[in-house]
Amino acid sequence: MSNPLFSMLDKICVITGGSRGLGKAMATAFLNAGAKRVYVTARKPHECAQTAEELSALTESGECIGLPGDMSSADDIKAFVDEIASRESHVDVLVNNAGAAWVASIDEFPEKGWDKVMDLNVKTPFFLTQQLLPLLRAGGSAENTASVINIGSIAGMLGNAGGGLSYSVSKTAIHQLTRNLANLLADDHIRVNAIAPGRFHSKMTSTVEQDREQYEREIKMIPLHRWGSDEDIMGPALLLASNAGAFMTGGIITVDGGYMVV
């Protein structure tokens, strides 16, 4: 790594929802910056295995390890943390990236849609962070802090959720959880920040992308006139995970092509 500020040399990282999309992009960035091991988890075992094999081939010094599991399940969270603890004495970086969405009209929005989104997008990040605290505390020091990165959304800052009501509410909640955890964990040398993406190319947004009329309308509304790509999430993630972000905690960084300033 040419700039030591952004080095991830020898760091142990954990990323939920890491088998594809933004999670896979961040795992790639960490390994390319020198991370020693990056653990990724997702519900589908074959996707975890494929991603782990692909990303492990990126460098000779780093390794990606896939540990499949359903992070909306308390039992699976515990099993995942127990497995990490059996392998590592500490964790340097946790990225709470796994998420879900549900779209329905306000008159027909079901309880199961509300609960599914709130559980995975809000409850899981809290309890996974809570259970990993011993390893995060072991990885943090005044000179080299541990880092928790929550993935929020500009949907949690706007009032135009449409049919994605529970999603936008969950992202507002994860932003506030980020601020509260940053305050609570600062003395433990654990920094907590959030990235709030705008539109990115992903499985979750594929239906919008296929509607060319809506897609073109959105492109016109974004000052940079495009959606985000994998590379656009890598830089902010490296900033928050490395010593380059050592004086940053409690922040919500928008990565949206300027949409929030319109």
DSSP string, 107-170: TT--HHHHHHHHIIIIIHHHHHHHHHHHHHHHH--SSS-EEEEEE--GGGT-S--TT-HHHHHH
Q: What is the pLDDT of residues 113-146, one digit of tens each?
A: 999 999 999 999 999 999 999 999 999 999 999 9
Whether the pLDDT of residue 151 is over 80: the answer is yes
Looking at residue 262, what is its pLDDT?
A: 83
In the prediction, which pLDDT does 1 show? 44
Return the CA Rg of the chain.
Answer: 18
pTM confidence score: 0.95
**Long-range contacts formed by 121-126: CB under 8 A, 24+ apart:** 121/167, 121/170, 121/171, 121/173, 121/174, 122/170, 122/173, 122/174, 122/177, 123/72, 124/16, 124/71, 124/72, 124/77, 124/96, 124/98, 125/96, 125/150, 125/174, 125/177, 126/177
Higher per-residue pLDDT: 208 or 49: 49
> According to the model, what pLDDT value does residue 204 have?
65
Residue of higher predicted confidence among 244 and 205: 244
Write the pLDDT tens digit of every residue in 50-85. 999 999 999 999 999 999 999 998 999 999 999 999
Residue 39 falls in the annotated catalytic set: no
Structure tokens belonging to residue 128: 């996974």
Tell me the mean pLDDT in the region 208-220. Answer: 84
The pLDDT-based confidence of 202 (bands split at 50, 70, 90) is confident
Is residue 209 predicted with pLDDT exceeding 90? Answer: no
**Mean confidence (pLDDT) of the chain:** 94
| Long-range CB pairs of 177-184, under 8 A, 24+ apart, other chains included | 177/122, 177/125, 177/126, 177/150, 178/150, 178/152, 178/250, 178/252, 179/250, 179/252, 181/129, 181/148, 182/249, 182/250, 183/250
> What dotted CATH number matches 4-202+231-254?
3.40.50.720
Q: Which of 39, 167, 215, 259 is catalytic?
A: 167
Report the percent of the chain where pLDDT is more than 70: 98
* 3 has pLDDT over 80: no
Q: Which residues contact 141 (CB under 8 A, 6 or more apart)?
A: 189
Alpha helices in the chain (DSSP H): 21-32, 45-56, 74-87, 111-118, 124-139, 165-185, 206-210, 212-221, 230-241
pLDDT tens for 87-110 read 999 999 999 999 999 999 999 999
What is the rounded distance in angstroms from the CA atom of residue 249 to the CA atom of residue 147?
A: 9
Tell me what the mean pLDDT of segment 201-230 comes to. Answer: 84
